[in-house]
Structure 1
Amino acid sequence: MIREKVIKLNKQVEQYLIEGVLVEEYVLKSISALLKFMKECNICLRWIILHTSELPVGADNNKRCKQMLQMVVTDSQYNPADVFKLLLNTAQFEFNLKELVSLLLAEKHERWIANRKEAVERLIELADVFSGAMPLTRVEKNDNLQTWFRKMAKSIESLDFQDWTSAGRQTNQIMTALDEVQQFHELDANMQVKQFLNDNKRLLSTMILLNNVQESTISIMDLVADLSYAWIIIDSFTGVMQEGIKRSPSLVTKLRATFLKLSSALDLPLVRINQVGSNDLMTVSHYYSGELVAYVRKVLQIIPETMFSMLASIVYLQTNTLRELPLRAEKDKLRDYAQLEERHQVAKLTHDISIFTESMLLMKTTLVGIIKLDPKRVLEDGIRKELVKQVATALHNGLTFNPRAKSSELIPKLDALGNQMDGFRRSFEYVQDYVGMYGLKIWQEEVSRIINYNVEQESNSFLKQKIYDFQSTFQSRHIPIPHIPPLGDGSINFMGRLVREILRVTDPRATFYAEQRNTWYDIRTKQPVVDILLFKKLRRAVGSFGLSGLDRLLSFMIVKELQLLTGIIQTIFQNKESSDMLDSFMRQLTPIDSIIAQPNRVYTNSVAKGASAWPTLSTHLMKVGQMQLLRQQIAHELTAAAKYDSKYLFYALKAFNDSFLQDIQQVYTNSSTQPNESADTMNELLYELGPLLESVGMNDVLQRVYISAQNHFLLIPLLVLYTISQVPRMITL
């Protein structure tokens, strides 16, 4: 029975939604019937939604409750698709009706006055016709009718809009009088007079109908259309909504009305707050509006998801199937290069994407609670959200390494990830015109945000004051970067895994670096392990943002190693035996302008006495040196990329940096100028300029100050002895 009721109401409401049915004249005449039908639809919806919703926590374990729910679902032949269709159609019907009624209320006074004025003018014209002044065909002069029509005109003119009850009663009396005079004097015989009278009755009837449309009509509609009971339950229809959008993208325009209907739930928590005049009204309004907007975004997210599933096919076709057309090709091979079937498939997928975009943009800007919902912004945020999800997942999966692998997976993984990212970027740029957005801008902004967020989270292991996910400036509520749990390899995310894999491959205990070739060689086999091409592959896989992120992580690691190193050196200095040995060695070197006697014995004995400290120092110093070399190569790659991709910006930045350095030198070398006068301005400028210079590799990593430590007079002899102890190893290499 319920199912038949739902189907019947669906058919009826669909009739009302046909273009040209729900017009002003029909609404004015049938407002009561329309409100009654609207009430019937909402009662049916309320009953079936509440009686078939999932059981709340606690009741879901009650056997009796489960049986009752199952019985209702079975007896009512509950079909979520039919109920959702009724909800959708009812919301659209209410939206159309409310728009018409609101328009009528807004124009009610002006239209009522205009109709009254026109009715008066027509009756005066009719009176003039019977006076003989404006002769019509076959209309004889009649002073009685002339006087009567003028009297009726004055009666209509005296109607008061404010006293609509009295005005309505008088208008009905005038219409009755017009009918009587038309019949009594047989005015139907003259078509022109009859037309005048019918027009007057139509105008008077419209005035009565306009009086029937009151402000309370809107209140009744809001009360009847209330959907606050489904604030939580509506989430169960999310899947049905999204499936409907996938089948028919134009459904989005109807969903707009459904979301507006759901916004009626905002009124309930605000009624009492508004009545007491609380200052929390705006805060609470903003909260509930934000929750509703979040739900709207959740429902409409299916559009970007579907678009990206199509985009994945385009990525595959462009990356693996379509071949680039050469500058010159033989005529016989043109058909092979054309690849008509594949290109037709790409065109079809692109067209489908544009259809989804168009349907989304047809949804007009909507005020949800107190938040304005712009469909273009929602679509862009949805695309950004899905892009972030896809790219973050690709980076996570692509930069996962097996530490037990016999040979390093670094290069193959970077190649595969680079191909995937290239496919993403090319396809995103390809469809940007079809979705009406700046694809490259979105790509760069979101990829940089993903990289910077992961670098920030990975850096937390080196910081005392950590930046948590909810504190990050790179995280967003509407476009969240997915937080993927660590894999238990010591890294928090893919950036940590990548930098540690690079350090593992270039481990100074297993490799050595040849500066002339910019290559790391295996110590045993003397075969190249990685070369400068590694950094080109890194840039292709994670972009310049990824290289900058690696550089930042390496800086943190260097700081950590230097802190450990200074601690070890302090321990050596605090050891009396070690400090005495270093002091004795330093005295033997004086004077420094002459060669010491028996240098072989002095150096050998001193190195032997400090032999226990050299392995520990080597461990940390080699790590620092290794990371410094990597930072140099990263800076070189960033500089080369900046010169190639944005030559003018690079040289503009370089010119600015050079001129700024000259200004600093001039300030500190000019005795007449106090350095403190410009210090604040220069510090602010340096704070902004520093990251820009690092992003293009315009920094000397060997001149970088990482930590500050107290100088010690024994540091020089310690480093001299350590260097001498490592010379044999360097000669062996």
Structure 2
Amino acid sequence: MGDFLAPHNACGQNLLRIVSRGNAILAELMRLKDYVPPVFRFDSKQFDQKYGSVIIDFAYFKACATYEQKIENDSALQALDEKLRENFSNILTRFYLAFESIHKYITDLNAYIDELEDGLYIQQSLESIMFNEEGKQLMCEAVYLYGIMLLLVDCHFEGYVRERLLVSYYRYNAQRSSSTRVDDVCMLLRSTGYSKSSLKRPANYPEEYFKRVPVNTSLVELVIGRLRSDELYNQSRAFPYPEHRSIALANQASMLVIILSFNPSLLHSQTAIMREIVVKFFPDCWVSSIYMGVVINLFDWWQPYKAARTALNSTLENSNIKKTAQNYGQKMDTQILEVEKIQFSVNLDENAVGPIVKLVRNCNVTLHWILLHTASPNMLVEESKRSKSIRQLVIHESKYSVENCLRLLLNTAQVEQNVKQFYKQLLQDKESKWMKKKERCVERISDLAELFSGNKFLDGTEKNLCLQKWFKEISEHVKTLQQDEGRKIVQLLQALEEVQEFHQPENNLNISQYLADTRVILRSMLLTGSISEDIMITLNIVTDCCYAWIIMESFVSVMQGCIKENPSMVIKLKALFLKMASALETPLLRINQARSADLSSVSQHYSRELEGFARRVLQIIPETVFGLLAEIVHLETNILKEMPTKISKDKLKDYEQFDDRLQMAKLTYAVSVFTKGELSLRSVSLGVLRVDSHRLFEDGIRQELVKKVTHALHNCLVFDLKSKTDLVKKLQNLATVMDGYRRSFQYIQDYININSLKIWHEEITYIINNAVEEECKGLTWIPGKNWRSLQDEKFIHIPVTDSNSYTFLGRFARELIRITDPRSTVYIEHTLAWYDIKTHNEVLNHNVFSTILQGMGTPGLCGLDELISFFTVVEIQNINNYLEKGVREKVWTDMIKDSNIIMQNNSENSKGNPGKLYMTALTGTTKIWMPMLDWVLKIGQFQILRNKIAYDLNTACKFEAKHMESALRTLNQAVLAEIYKRNNGYQTEGETELLRQLSIRLDWAGISDPQNKIYVKSKNVPDVEIIMFLFTVTQVHKLYYSKSIAGLLSKKVQDPVDAIAFAIGMQTVLRQFHTSALNRYVALLCEYIMLFVNVESSKTASDWEAEGITTLHFLELFAKYSNVPKSIILSHIPLVILDQYDVKLLK
């Protein structure tokens, strides 16, 4: 057949590509298992109730029209469905393609078998492939991988979840998908009834599952036959001892376990065959790792099958279990001592390699058996009582302890790495060493020939021309030696021994020494020449630990405990990480052979998994460092007195605090010891990734800092909704805690070799930005945020304690909004404070923003500003939607029509009638204005808060970075001048990016004007200025001018309106429309004021005068905050009338 995997062999290459794709599919499934959006799992009743009508299982296919009609008839369900489509369309496609690839895999495999049987590949058939070494390996792997795919899909993506994912994909991406392929995928992956939450195994599982798209029967029979009779991977060369046979065949055994489920009749009724399988593969083991650490217990796996269960009974006899467990327990105790003894030896030499390889083999065999048989299976739902009792019996009889097992594991890994490095060096130096030894040997033999020639004098040496000639000939032979001529070297050794025996030169001690040295050199040459890659291959086989890929997670806490006791133990962990990295060779072997493009993504996935494991183990060091840091924080904050810049000699004793400073020194030393422990790792290769210990440590420090600071923010910013006075106290407490963390973190930076100030600012910014993002997503779409947070390693999950907020920042922002609510407080601009409407007591003042700056820094204040900006957008969108909907209603159109007529009549007549206009705006429209008032007041309140935040940010920036503030302000002015100069609105991509970056920096420096920003792109609402004018008329009527505060106040406490918030809110809303709307609104207000100049009404003139004064003051407020030039007002209201109002106001 030739080389089956040769590039020109289409038959072998096609099969190799199929197997390669199978390994890539498994990696994709393992990658996606952590990214199932929680909304599709229905983990809570809330999700079930809210999304049950739009996220549907396969029941959808029975009544598609009914479900779709239900969604179409409900606008809320339509909006929810659209949000699902928008947020999860891409990830649903990713899941579907992974599921579809399973169906395509088995379809292609069956098609390949059909092509073989049809004779498409000349001189090759299914039977001939099974006689080829690589061919039978690939055939067995192809069937085995299909079974593993189906099992892992069912294990990690439960049936109801798969169905919801597939149905959602079908609904959202039907136009891009082939309905036939979707139907086939749905048929293959419909729910099997298997569930991790269920304690019962489904009937006929997994054989019925495997029959959905069956594998060719002849192929299954041939594969099982080869697995039973042949040794596929020839691993007995690495495990030559009889007691190691089950370990040597472990990979083949796991394949056989899976493939037998494709032919359940063998498991049910073929007792003789099953007994043969058990005797060969499972004489002393009953737990198998089927793929990358996925463990099954054969007692439970084969429980439904009579023949398999009966055959396994002999292995599971208590006497056999006890004997085997005791044997491996004793071996573990002995091997721990032997491995530690080797570790203490200073140097390795070539002669020691063989015994060490043997010891490494024995240790790995012991670890393989012990780890598997003491681990809990992770494939089936629940262990049976018998399985648990067997596991407990193994633990008891072997005297197993996690600590001893870890001890052997770490020591073995260390020895493995040492011997591998040593042997690699031997292979590299083999040629040069052998040549040097050869030259020395030739030199020695030539010296002997010279001695016997008589030309060179040596005591007791007689001239012997025969020996001279003989040694010259031997020297020539040595010169022509090659490394692979070991037999000639043995013959030369025999010849040297014979010449010493028959010619008796041993009587001369010098000659004897020469001969002895020469023989030593020849033996060394023989040993060096015998160095080959076979030993490295053997080492790689016996040290493979892919069976423990998942089991190692159970050792994390023990490893961390060991590191906590002895930080230098990290060096041994490096060897363990390298040992685990060798497990990547198994899934990558066929992908690499096929030169597949999937090599990079698959290797990246497993390397990332291993890196994540290493980070979890080593995270104990940053955790411990921060535990020590907490004590340092306590000392810095509460115990140690802050040293003044200058201090008199007499008062020096007041600051000595010797005991406390000694405790600080001890804590600092402990921190440096732990840091040194992790940094000793240096650089370690984890698969295709190389991880630097300093970066690993810094990342751990960052993660722990995020955790601690997030918890501090979360715990400090919890408020009592009944009180309005504890906000400032909470912020002051937060500022104290944060200052303690910052000072202590800065204090230890030199002892842990990091830039603490840089890390502090970056991570505080990360925490705040993450909180802002969470709040914004939470307001718009809850499920999306939960899924995306899985991608961030530093993400700290804090349980939600407030029904309205998702993070501390949202909770704080809402508390600030609650305290300054325009419905219960009034903002007085002269004092920059909010006062309670009823009690007239001050509730909050502008100093609160300085306190926020102390507690959360510039990032905190900027994050608060961004969140309030988002709240503003939400409220503006609410009012815009309300206006767009309202203008189409008859009540609104009639109101606008009547008010236009009244205003027109008033402009034509000299006598004004503001009362009629007011009644038009009020009659039948009270309910219309109520929601609008809430939205406008909220928008105004948010803008006031944003103005105060910008002021504090700018003040801080001027003090701390005045040159940067000046540079930003100048650049901003220059950019604005350039934009005004162009007057065409066109911007290049680079200019757009410049504006975006500049805007971010301006916001952080407080160089911004929130009131004049465009927040949303509003649609053109007809007569919006008239609507807002009429709305203003109804609200201004609730206000009066107060001389005591020189401003507007509410007439009634029960119906309050904060004039400043209302004015700012109105101008913000109008600014979202075309500028003509704002100008027309101002004109209408001016016309309304003019109506009060000459009034004809039943109302008294003094009342209308007060109304006119109130409206005029509101107009002045509006003009002030919207930057409307006074000239525009004067164009509608003569100056003499304005002066008249001012005179009346002074009376």
Same fold (TM over 0.5): yes
In 1, Cα distance between the equivalents of 2:428 and 2:630?
Answer: 50
Contact 2:339 2:412 in 1 (8 A): yes
Paired residues for 1:291-370 under 5 Å = 291-370=609-688
Instruction: Tell me what 1:511 maps to.
Output: 825
1:263 alignment partner in structure 2 = 581
Q: Distance in 2 between matches of 1:414 and 1:88?
A: 49
Aligned match of 1:557: 871
2:114 is the counterpart of 1:114:
no
Match of 1:233 in 2: 551
The partner residue of 2:745 within 417, 428, 436 is 428
Which residue does the alignment assign to 1:683? 992
Secondary structure of 2:559 counterpart: helix
Q: Judge conservation of contact 2:833–2:846 (CA < 8 Å) in 1.
A: yes
Structure 1 residue 490: deviation in Å? 1.1
Point out the more displaced range, 77-86 or 342-351.
342-351
Q: Which residue is equivalent to 1:416?
A: 733
Q: Where do residues 212-251 of structure 1 align in structure 2 (5 Å cutoff)?
A: 212-251=530-569
Confirm or deny: 8 A CA contact 1:256 1:363 kept in the other structure: yes
Contact 1:582 1:717 in 2 (8 A): no
- Give the drift of 1:408: 3.4
**Cα gap change, 1:116 to 1:696, in 2 (>3 Å):** same
User: Are 1:440 and 2:765 counterparts?
Assistant: no
C-alpha distance in 1 between matches for 2:795 and 2:709: 10
Looking at structure 1, the residues matched to 807 and 1012 of structure 2 have their Cα atoms a distance apart, in angstroms, of: 30
1:393 Cα deviation from its structure 2 partner: 1.8
Look up the equivalent residue of 2:744 and give its one-letter code. S
The match for 2:953 is 638
The answer to whether the 8 A contact 2:895-2:921 is kept is: no
User: Comparing 50-59 with 196-205, which one deviates more in the overlay?
Assistant: 50-59
State how far apart, in whole Å, the 2-side matches of 1:61 and 1:464 are: 40
- Equivalent position of 2:285 in the other structure: none
- CA separation in 1, counterparts of 2:929 and 2:553? 66
1:633 CA drift (Å):
0.5
SS at 2:826 equivalent: strand
Residue 192 of structure 1 and its aligned partner are, at CA, apart by 4.8
Corresponding residue SS for 2:370 = helix
Q: Distance in 1 between matches of 2:639 and 2:870?
A: 43
Q: Distance in 2 between matches of 1:561 and 1:97?
A: 69
Contact 2:922–2:1034 under 8 Å retained in 1: no
> Which residue does 2:1030 correspond to in 1?
718
CA deviation vs aligned residue, 1:608-660 (integer Å, no higher than 9, x gap): 65882665443322222111110000001111222223232222222211221
Q: Compared with structure 1, are the counterparts of its residues 114 and 621 closer, same or farther at alpha carbon in structure 2 (3 Å cutoff)?
A: same
> 1:520 aligned to 798, 821, 834, which one?
834
Whole-angstrom distance in 1 between the partners of 2:989 and 2:421: 59
Shift of 1:157: 0.7
3-state SS of 1:250 partner: helix
* Residue equivalent to 2:776: 459
Return the alpha-carbon distance in structure 2 between the equivalents of residues 566 and 3 of structure 1. Answer: 76
Query: Which shows bigger deviation, 141-150 or 369-378?
Result: 141-150
Q: Pick from 478, 493, 516: which aligns with 1:175?
A: 493
One-letter amino acid of the structure 2 residue matched with residue 692 of structure 1: R
When residues 200 and 489 of structure 1 are mapped into structure 2, their CA distance, relative to the original with a 3 A threshold, is same
| Counterpart in the other structure of 2:723 | 406
Amino acid at match of 2:370: I
State the partner residue of 2:1014: 705
Aligned to 2:794: 480
Post-superposition offset of 1:602: 6.0
| Partners of 1:461 and 1:61 in 2: CA distance | 40
Letter in 2 for 1:372: R
In 2: Cα distance, 1:610 partner to 1:117 partner: 114
**Structure 2 SS opposite 1:366:** strand
Q: Which moved more, 1:652-661 or 1:168-177?
A: 168-177
Pair 1:155-2:473 in alignment: no
CA distance in 2, matches of 1:19, 1:282: 40
Q: 2:407 aligns with which of 82, 85, 91?
A: 85
For residue 290 of structure 1, the aligned residue among 596, 608, 611 is: 608
| Cα distance in structure 2, aligned partners of 1:546 and 1:182 | 91
Aligned to 2:110: none
* TM-score, normalised via structure 1 length: 0.90
Distance of 2:836 and 2:853 partners within structure 1 = 24
Deviation at 1:440, TM superposition (A): 1.7
Residue type matched to 2:809 in 1?
A: M
Distance in structure 2 (CA, Å) of the matches to 1:569 and 1:313:
58
Could you say what secondary structure the match of 2:971 adopts?
A: helix
- How far is 1:604 from its partner? 6.4
Number of equivalenced pairs: 712
CA-CA distance at 1:676 after TM superposition: 5.9
TM-superposed CA distance for 1:104, in Å, is 0.3
Aligned position for 2:130: none
Give the % identical residues: 36
CA distance in 1, matches of 2:855, 2:335: 57
Alpha-carbon separation, structure 1, partners of 2:548 and 2:987: 63
Residue 548 (1) aligns with residue 858 (2): no
Deviation of 1:275 (Å)? 4.5
**Alpha-carbon displacement from aligned partner over 1:282-302 (angstroms, at most 9, x marks no partner):** 332222222222111111111
Task: Name 1:671's counterpart in structure 2.
Answer: none
Alpha-carbon shift at residue 600 of structure 1 (Å): 7.0
Contact 1:130/1:146 (<8 A) preserved = yes
**Which stretch has the larger CA shift, 217-226 or 460-469?**
460-469
Quote how far apart the aligned CAs of 1:700 are.
0.8
Q: Which runs of 5+ in 1 are unaligned?
A: 669-674
| AA in 1 matched with 2:539 | M
1:74 corresponds to which of 393, 396, 412: 396
* Contact 1:520/1:528 (8 A) holds in 2: yes
Structure-2 change in CA distance of 1:63 and 1:605 (3 Å): closer
Could you say what secondary structure the match of 1:206 adopts? helix
Deviations, residues 151-202 of structure 1 (Å, cap 9, x unaligned):
22111111112xx1xx222222323333444455554565554444343223
Match of 1:629 in 2: 944
Aligned partner letter, 1:449: Y
Query: Is this contact kept in 2: 1:462–1:560, CA < 8 A?
Result: no
Relative distance call for 1:317 and 1:374 in structure 2 (3 A) is: same
SS at match of 1:468: helix
Residue of 891, 895, 907 corresponding to 1:590: 907
Distance in 2 of aligned mates of 1:222 and 1:454: 47
Task: Measure the CA separation in 2 of the matches of 1:61 and 1:125.
Answer: 76
Partner Cα separation in structure 2 for residue 698 and residue 389 of structure 1: 32
Is the alpha carbon distance of 1:514 and 1:48 closer, same or farther for their aligned partners in structure 2, counting shifts above 3 Å? same
The answer for the alignment partner of 2:143 in structure 1 is none
Matched residue, 2:90: none
CA distance in structure 2 between the aligned counterparts of 1:608 and 1:384, rounded to whole angstroms: 59
Correspondence for 1:672: none
More moved, 685-694 vs 151-160: 685-694
Partner of 2:105: none
How far residue 140 of structure 1 moved from its aligned partner, in angstroms, is 4.3
Q: 1:647 to 1:198 in 2, by over 3 A?
A: farther
Query: Tell me, what secondary structure is at the counterpart of 2:629?
Result: helix
Task: State the partner residue of 1:143.
Answer: 465
Once the two structures are superposed, residues 577-627 of structure 1 have per-residue CA deviations (whole angstroms, 9 ceiling, x without a partner) of 422442244225537xx9x63667567656765882665443322222111
Q: Distance in 2 between matches of 1:87 and 1:3?
A: 14
Which is further off, 455-464 or 619-628?
A: 455-464
In 1, Cα distance between the equivalents of 2:378 and 2:867? 48
SS at match of 1:512: strand
Q: CA deviation at 1:718?
A: 2.2
Q: Which amino acid aligns with 1:623?
A: K
Q: Which range moves more in the overlay, 348-357 or 556-565?
A: 556-565
1:485 is displaced (CA, Å) by 3.8
2:1040 is matched with which residue: 725, 728, 731?
728
Write the letter of the residue equivalent to 1:718. L
Amino acid at match of 1:313: E
By relative contact order (CA 8 Å, sep 6+), the higher-ranking structure is: 1
Shift of the 461–218 alpha-carbon distance from structure 1 to 2, 3 Å rule, reads: closer
AA matched with 1:648: H
Quote how far apart the aligned CAs of 1:264 are.
Answer: 2.8
- Quote the RMSD (CA, aligned, Å): 2.8
Residue 209, structure 1, aligned to residue 527, structure 2: yes
